[in-house]
Amino acid sequence: MTADAPVRRLSGVGPKVAERLAGLGIHAVGDVLLHRPSRYEDRTRITPLAELLPQTPALVVVRVEHAEVRMGRRRSLMVSASDGSAWLGLRFFHFGSGQQARLAPGAWLRVFGEPRMAGYQLEMVHPEIEVVADAAAGHAITPQLLAIYPTASGVTQARLRDMADQTLALMARDDFWPEILPRDLSGPALAMTARQAVERIHRPPVDADLAALIEGNDPACRRLAFEELLGHQLGLRARRRQIRADKAPAMRDAGRGLAPLFEGLGFSPTGAQRRVIGEILADMSAAAPMLRLVQGDVGSGKTVVAAAALLTAVDNAWQGAFMAPTELLAEQHHAALTGWLAPLDVPVWLLTGKKKHDEAAREAIEAGRPGVIVGTHALFQASVVFGALGLAVIDEQHRFGVDQRLALRNKAAKKGRAATTAHQLIMTATPIPRTLAMSAYADLDTSVIDELPPGRTPIKTVAIPNTRRDEVIARIGQAVADGRQVYWVCTLIEASEKLEAQAAEAAAEALADALLGVRVSLVHGRMKAAEKAKAMNAFKAGDIDVLVATTVIEVGVDVPNASLMIIENAERLGLAQLHQLRGRVGRGSVASHCVLLYKAPLSDTARSRLSALRGTNDGFAIARADLDLRGPGEVLGTRQTGAATFRIADLVRDADLAEAALAVADDVLAYHPREADALITRWTSAAENYAQV
């Protein structure tokens, strides 16, 4: 058996279990080796009962002295056991007659569990038990730190342990899971071999530092993390090469040009927008697929840039897809693009995966009619067939993962023409530091929109404690009286969407009560898409003065007349998110204000965050401040799926290893192509290959 054989080949793994294992990222037999334990149980010694501590799991050897079924609130089997030094209770709520028989008085048991105080006595509920012949047999253990694995429903710890046993036994053979890294490679984490590292994370020596193993700082974790980062990096580079080798539609027809689009905008594109559009059109005119990331601060006008690319695709008789992270945004983009492109006779369809009217759009899309399709991830659905997808624009990339990008890419095709790959344009408002960009997007070229449209008055930001809430509310009344519109953003970090919705509802009511005659409305994540759109449209049309919202408005929402934003609990949000939120105002020419309402006392970092926001409106400066405050990597956020798919590595913790992997990647590709392939297979391809099945 080889490491890339399907995991079903292990004994005890049937199709059902294999399916659940896939959810854990275990597809091939070799993946079992890379399934890192989340913790370890100390089974290095037998603890005398007299030394047991509450809440500290331990291995003990005891004799059953007494056992009875108690009827109480819940029927339970209560066993009193002793090792001569003290007593211990063992309680079972689920038990059969077999279990009862084994736990009869006189039986010797080896027990592992977590004792808790129950009355005056320590008790273990449903501990792991093993019947042994006598005390001596009970004490004869092989000391070990037992690996406990992250698991999924339907996959027991025992199953995972058994799979690890089988796979480690296979690894003892030389040809199964061999060393790959070239010997001449040097790096900060190469003190041990990968095989030694794997052995160590699954079967740590009894003197290992468990905290280091759990947190990933153990040399074994670092050894594997380095190899993983390298494999990932090589995979991205290989993928880039592979995509570049595909054929893409060369969009060389200048068509009507972009002049008609620009004339209808009502403003003239900035120099930065024109430059980036130029870079994009140059890419699109080539027969190799464009893979370009556009970074531009909130409000820098990325949508127009996308519109220019989409129009070019349509003028070359192809379809362009524009994908947004939320339905709300998809609808907004649909409205904006319709406003700009419909007058040029470019059809703009909206596909959200829900509405009935999708039918007509789908037909046109499938027939390959040139036009623009705006949608959410519903565009990825297998049932959406593009007749002639030539360009895919993905907005606010940090919400999507590499796999989703690829899914869209695979949809590119045109009936009656040779198979092609669509050009890809990815847009993000989150500036990404270099190492991170290289680790997550090594397959992309980058353009930066480094200029804001003229006439924007910078947003004035103030931080006010929530004890002065009444003042802030009075200020809202004033702003509304002056004909301006206001966002009130309710934030609850790590709380449920439900709680957040409740908080928003309460805030909306309170505001409506406090501000008579002011039209207050609400948007939150628990509302139906149609309701959300209705509220947004009313706000956009000026029929609503104050929009109370949850962070659903974080990205992309565009209402130029809104010039005051209040952010509640601002101290709990990260810099990048606050900057994104704040970017919803300051879009028109009136002076805009952002009030960061906070609850005192502020922590030092919260204070630094709020003052960074007060100090600058520049997204790149904010990203740098964010880096200083949080360290590298966080900037990508947990939604950055590319980063989330690492098995061992963590871009924040292992930033030095990422750097080292970048440094050697070229050499490995150039001088060790076979090893490069093997690393890619080991660390990246399993999930992808199997995902397509």
Where on the chain is the footprint of ligand ADP (CB under 6 A)?
Answer: 267, 269-270, 273, 296, 298-304, 429, 453, 556, 558, 560, 587
The distance of closest approach from Cβ of residue 272 to ligand ADP in the complex, given in angstroms and rounded to an integer, is 9
The helix/strand/coil state of 179 is: coil
Quick check: 301 binds Mg ion (CB under 5 A)?
no
**Cα–Cα distance measured from residue 258 to residue 272, given in angstroms and rounded to the nearest whole number:** 16
Angle between helices 575-582 and 604-615 (to 10 degrees): 30
The strand pairing partners of 118, in sequence order, are 121
Tell me which long-range contacts 614-621 makes (C-beta under 8 A, separation of at least 24): 614/461, 614/462, 614/463, 617/458, 617/459, 617/461, 617/586, 618/297, 619/297, 619/298, 619/429, 619/430, 619/431, 619/579, 619/583, 620/297, 620/431
Q: Would you state the structure tokens that stand for residue 412, as one six-digit string? A: 């590119």
Could you tell me the two tokens for 143? 């000391």
Q: Of 301 and 642, which CB lies nearer to Mg ion in the complex structure?
A: 301
Candidate ranges 11-19, 250-258, 298-306, 603-611; the one touching Mg ion (CB under 5 A) = 298-306
Nearer to Mg ion, 76 or 561 (CB): 561
Q: Which is nearer to ligand ADP, 389 or 429 (CB)?
A: 429
The answer to whether residues 369 and 355 touch, using CB atoms and an 8 Å cutoff, is no
> Residue 267: which of Mg ion, ligand ADP, none does it interact with, CB under 5 to 8 A by kind?
ligand ADP
The beta strands (E) that lie in 524-592 are given as 546-549, 562-567
Q: How far is the CB of 540 from ligand ADP (least distance, A)?
A: 11
Q: Which residue is nearest to ligand ADP (CB)?
A: 301
270: partner contacted, choices ligand ADP, Mg ion, none (Cβ within 5-8 A by kind): ligand ADP
Nearer to Mg ion, 289 or 556 (CB): 556
Q: Yes or no: say if 424 and 292 are a contact pair by the CB < 8 Å rule.
A: yes
Q: How far is the CB of 301 from Mg ion (least distance, A)?
A: 8
Partner whose footprint covers residue 296, from Mg ion, ligand ADP, none (CB < 5 to 8 Å by kind): ligand ADP
Least spacing, CB of residue 259 vs Mg ion, in Å: 24
Q: Which is nearer to Mg ion, 377 or 609 (CB)?
A: 377
Which one, 572 or 582, has the nearer CB to ligand ADP? 582
- Report CA-CA distances (Å) from 337 to 261, 273, 281, 371, 505: 10, 16, 18, 11, 32
Least separation in angstroms between residue 469's CB and ligand ADP is 29
d(CA 244, CA 443): 10
Q: Give CA–CA dist 479/490, Å, rounded.
A: 19
Contacted entry of Mg ion, ligand ADP, none for residue 618, CB cut-off 5 to 8 Å set by kind: none
* Composition of the chain by helix, strand, coil, percent to 5: 45, 20, 40
Minimum distance of ligand ADP from residue 294's CB (angstroms): 9
**What residue number has its CB nearest to Mg ion?**
556
Give me the least distance between CB of 336 and Mg ion, in Å please.
Answer: 9
Q: How many residues of this chain bind Mg ion (CB under 5 A)? A: 2
* Rounded-to-integer distance, Cα 255 and Cα 313, Å: 10
Which one of residues 556, 619, 633, 642 is an interface residue with Mg ion (CB under 5 A)? Answer: 556
Q: Kindly tell me which of 270 and 326 has the beta carbon lying closer to ligand ADP.
A: 270
Q: At what angle do helices 271-284 and 302-315 cross, to 10 degrees?
A: 30
Give 547 or 668: the residue with its C-beta nearer to Mg ion.
547
Helix (H, G, I), strand (E, B) or coil at 226: helix
Residue 387 is a binding residue for Mg ion (CB under 5 A): no
Binding positions for Mg ion, rule: CB under 5 A: 302, 556
